[in-house]
Amino acid sequence: MIKHNDISDTDLRAKIKTEQILFGGNKNLKIYGRLNCKSGMRMKRENRVFFSTEKEALKNNFRPCGHCMRVEYKKWKYGIV
């Protein structure tokens, strides 16, 4: 997990371009989603964190976004593995 305030914009863009970062999350709400999610784009920089995999996000006790990851969210909500 990488906090947005702990990484420069240049490094962030490079990691996204090389697909080292695939998901973003809100550290206060404990929700993660795709980087192009409209809900995720509205969050404050100080609340934003980044993950390289879904597994990493789930390991950090984040849940999938109900907007951009509907299928994953429903699986999480109903406890389907």
Say what the pTM is: 0.90
Per-residue model confidence as pLDDT tens digits over 14-32? 999 999 999 999 999 999 9
Do residues 69 and 33 make contact, with C-beta atoms less than 8 angstroms apart?
Answer: yes
Q: Which CATH superfamily is domain 2-78 in?
A: DNA Methylphosphotriester Repair Domain (3.40.10.10)
Per-residue model confidence as pLDDT tens digits over 49-73? 999 999 999 999 999 999 999 999 9
- CA end-to-end span of the chain: 23
